[in-house]
Structure 1
Amino acid sequence: MTSKQPIPSVWTRQNREREQPALSRGQIVAEAVRLLDAEGVEALSMRRLGARLNAGATSLYRHVANRDELIELVVDEVYGEIEVPEAAGGEGWREAVATCAHSVRAMILRHPWTASVLGQVGLSYLGPHVMRLNDRMLALFEAAGFPLAEADQALSSVFAYVIGMGISEAAWLAMVARSGQDEQEWQENLRPTAERAAQPYERLHEQFVSQQAQHPRQARDEKFHYGLERLLDGLSARLARVESAGG
């Protein structure tokens, strides 16, 4: 009979410190976020982070076993930036959920490196900031009138949309940043090529021409807002059926 292997995650491992370390986990995570924001996920290594903290990599290993655990910690850290309003019944739930959704998107765009790690971050849902966020979001849906099990499904649907859109935007903005241009310059330089590519396709070409004068940031904002509102429309309709069945 083989022994069960522990699940590799910072959240499943007991922190066994024998003495007061020179560095705290909070210091390590905060510096890792600064490194990621400045240079991207490819630059993150235990050696590089130790150098920025004027400490050897050994000091970091008191808190994290490897780079994967460090990424779990930094993801949980930035999730702590997300705003979640207090639960409100009636129509207030919709505005509260929208506020949280926009805050998640803003977090991803502040930390575009999340685009490359959110899908491979291990047991991220066990992090304290993620758990707090999920619990408070469930409270929003439950206060609106969704049963808890369906509140969980609604939460998953909203986050799937927001994270999917946010990751796409972050990847786009990272590509623009690598060009050394701002978003408007990039779009103007790309316009002749894009227009030629769209020329054989009537609807795509018409849409392309009609959006030429629009700033790309405005276009991204409008697209995100439209999709979120239609998702909330669907949840509102579903809530009305739940309430009708309950009555």
Structure 2
Amino acid sequence: MLIWERPEPASRSTLSPLSRERIVRAAIGLADADGLQAVSLRKVAGALDAGPMRLYRYVDTKEELLDLMVDAVYGEIPAPPPATGGDWQAEVRSLARGFRDTALRHEWLADLLGGRPQVGPSALAHMEATLAALRSAPGIGDDPDTLMQALQAVNGYVFGAVRHEVAERRVERASGLTESQWRAATGPYLGRMLATGRYPTLAHVVGNASEQAPAEMFDAGLAVLLAGLTAGLSRGTS
């Protein structure tokens, strides 16, 4: 039986009462501070001043604990405001931005993205909201295959963008160089390489593109995806 359907043990009158929620929140605190490598049932038990064996009454494995942590984070994503005038793109943007903001508060989430979909209640609610928004898009409608293709396209972009942004943050912390400092250090080499003429398109972009903040880049990429999403899927199913 999956953790989502397994009843929680009855509480006991002890000096350090436990619950799945307390266990998950303690694990998230450890992961937020020091990454997933800091999460183990033993360390969580220590944070809760409880014996490790007591935790096994609530969670069987570390994998179950990670599933619970991910679903708790999904639960922090705010629901999109009601769409006005059938603006499905506004709903998708709201959900995507909410996911990004939440993932950046819990950087370890980036390490658990991809693979099989999360099936906890909060993750399912987020998937339902995204599918419902996409369902009202022109050219998508009720066809389940087209809906799943659209969902995979949106999730692929959002997950990839979040993982890239988290990786950039980690590199900056590890190297001690900000983005501008890194550009200054690599600028002379890149200039020499572009001057060879072997990378004309890259030279055009580097020389003319405007500098954007990460949130602006995220929104711009999402806008490109949504603008072409319905047309591409409609052609593929016609």
Tell me which interval the TM-score lies in, with the shorter structure as reference length.
Answer: 0.7 to 0.9
1:99 aligns with 94
Whether contact under 8 Å (2:103, 2:109) holds in the other structure is yes
- 2:101 and 2:122 map into 1 onto residues whose CA distance is 16
2:218 aligns with 224
Residue 152 of structure 2 is aligned to residue 156 of structure 1: yes
2:39 aligns with 44
State the Cα RMSD in Å: 2.9
**C-alpha displacement of 1:169:** 0.7
Structure 1 residues 116, 125: CA separation in 2 closer, same or farther (over 3 Å shift)? closer
**C-alpha displacement of 1:46:** 1.1
2:169 aligns with 173
Query: What percentage of residue pairs aligned between the two structures are identical?
Result: 34
**C-alpha displacement of 1:57:** 1.0
- 1:60 and 1:208 map into 2 onto residues whose CA distance is 53
In structure 2, stretches of 5+ residues that fail to align are: none
Paired amino acid for 2:134: F
- 1:16 and 1:227 map into 2 onto residues whose CA distance is 42
**C-alpha displacement of 1:33:** 0.9
1:25-73 per-position Cα deviation (integer Å, ceiling 9, x unaligned): 0011111111111111111111111111111111211111121111111
Residue 137 of structure 2 is aligned to residue 135 of structure 1: no
- 2:74 and 2:64 map into 1 onto residues whose CA distance is 16
Whether contact under 8 Å (2:20, 2:58) holds in the other structure is yes
1:3 aligns with none
**C-alpha displacement of 1:224:** 1.6
1:14 aligns with 6
TM-score by length of 2: 0.80
2:73 aligns with 78
Q: Give runs of ≥4 in structure 1 deviating > 6 Å.
A: 239-242
* Aligned pairs, number: 225
Whether contact under 8 Å (2:135, 2:147) holds in the other structure is yes
Whether contact under 8 Å (1:79, 1:129) holds in the other structure is yes
- 1:159 and 1:40 map into 2 onto residues whose CA distance is 23
3-state SS of paired residue (1:83): coil
